[in-house]
A and B are shown apart, each in its own frame.
Chain A
Amino acid sequence: MADAPLRPPGALPEEQFLATCIRCGKCAQACPFRAIVQADLFDGLRGMGTPVIRARQAPCYLCLKCPPVCPSGALQRNLKEKEQVRMGTARIDTKRCLAWQGTLCRSCYDDCPIFDIAIRMDDMLQPVVEPKHCVGCGICERVCPAEPAAITVWASGRQKR
């Protein structure tokens, strides 16, 4: 089974989400950033038609317009604060992160919407993710200048390895 993709904010745990989401696409229509797209067959048969966020192309800007429109409750409609969002957790590949490799870079730190809390700069001016506060929006992954991104979001539903 393919690993769980990044879901819109407020999504139920992955298995529950797959059972509850009716594949109606209303959240994708509500997203002003066109960050939510509908998964196709290549993302796996079980998830076909479900909303996914491909953060490197378009991350979630946490406007939270999608949870209240969900007709099935697959996205929890009462989600109001961006700090409560738990889409996933960003992880830094320090071997490829420019800052960790000695170049001055703080793209992810600067653009993190939970500013200076979810991503902090340590004493060596290297970015560090605080998993307790990271909401998994993927903005860091989007703005990372490394190719491919040195900071990526691991979706909440992704199996531990």
Chain B
Amino acid sequence: MRLTAIRRTVQVCLLLLLFVVPLLNQQGISLVSGTLYSFAIGPLWITDPAIGLQTLFTTRTLDLVLLLSVLLPVVLALVCGRVFCGWLCPQNTLSELADAVAARLKIRRALSPAPTPKLRFVMLGIILLLAAVVGLPLISLLSAPGILSVQAARVVLEKTVGAELALVGLIVVVELFLVRRAWCNLLCPVGTVLGLFRVRRTMKVVFSEEVGRHCTRCHACAQACQLGLDPVAGSLYPQCHNCGACIEACKIDLIRKPLFFQF
């Protein structure tokens, strides 16, 4: 099974979906509608948990419809981890592409700060409190996947894009020249919220020489990780998106790698 091939297919399908949904809406077909802030498949509503959390802070009320609609992504995060980030998010897809380009052009980043999960959670707290104080949905304005999907819909429906897209441009430039994969790895509030839903049995990348063949310490897995994580050294979470690039990169035979997904 080629993990990366499947993942690329999923990523491309999602990018297409961002344009296909508004095109269908334009034709009067509204079975599927919405953007990556909130999406609807018929009566099934799916809202980004970060957006739900933010609305709790900005409105100080609990909208039952909104609450119910965040359940599915929360369950997905509890079961499979941050697979939204690694497998679906269009910003991650774009950042992966930019990183591949940077690797090809041998661009050296100016800074390489160590990922600090605590800082992420502190920043999320600050953003949420600030959103409550100013009464504006700051996470909506900082959600790169949300922005990309809304602007894709606007291209179709309004033949224009908004200034929100500047954030995406900024992220790409910073990641190309300043800090590798800075947004997903250090800042993104959407990913931070998804990272909150972790339990012991949540799907994770596990390194174990007892189950698989012996690791030769070739470090192919660490080199494959764009987020700069080292599966052999451990402590992958909450940053790891469960993209599976490390597992795929492991050169030890296909069936019994020392690196695998486990619930």
Taking beta carbons and an 8 Å cutoff, which residues of A are in contact with B? 15-16, 18-26, 28-30, 32, 34, 37-38, 40-41, 46, 48-49, 69, 71-73, 77
Contact = CB atoms under 8 A, between A and B. Distances in A.
B59 A20 contact: yes
16 contacts: A19-B135, A21-B137, A24-B146, A25-B150, A26-B35, A28-B154, A28-B157, A30-B25, A30-B30, A32-B28, A38-B162, A49-B140, A69-B40, A71-B45, A71-B69, A72-B51
Given A19-B58, A46-B136, A71-B45, A26 B34 contact: yes
Contacts of A29: 21-22, 25, 30, 33-34, 153, 157
Nearest to A25: B150
B135 A23 contact: no
B65 interface: yes
Contacts of A71: 34, 37-38, 40, 45, 47, 65-66, 69
Interface of B: 21-22, 25, 28, 30, 33-35, 37-38, 40, 45, 47, 51, 54-55, 58-59, 63, 65-66, 69, 135-137, 140-141, 146, 150, 153-154, 157-158, 160, 162-164
A29 to B, nearest CB: 5
A41 B38 contact: no
A25 to B, nearest CB: 5
A133 B58 CA distance: 32
B92 to A, nearest CB: 20
Contacts of B47: 22, 71
Contacts of A20: 55, 58-59, 137
A84 to B, nearest CB: 20
A15 B135 contact: yes
Contacts of B65: 71, 73, 77
Contacts of B34: 24-26, 29, 69, 71
Contacts of A32: 28
A22 B37 contact: yes
B73 to A, nearest CB: 13
A26 B38 contact: yes
B37 A24 contact: yes
A26 B33 contact: yes
Contacts of A25: 34-35, 37, 150, 153-154
Interface hub of B28, B37, B141 (most chain A Cβ within 10 A): B37
B59 A16 contact: yes
Nearest to A47: B136
B135 A24 contact: no
B163 A48 contact: yes
A22 B141 CA distance: 9
Given A24-B150, A26-B40, A71-B69, A37 B59 contact: no
A28 B137 CA distance: 18
Given A22-B37, A24-B150, A26-B38, 14 more contacts: A19-B137, A23-B141, A26-B33, A29-B21, A29-B25, A29-B34, A30-B33, A34-B158, A38-B162, A48-B164, A49-B150, A49-B164, A71-B45, A71-B66
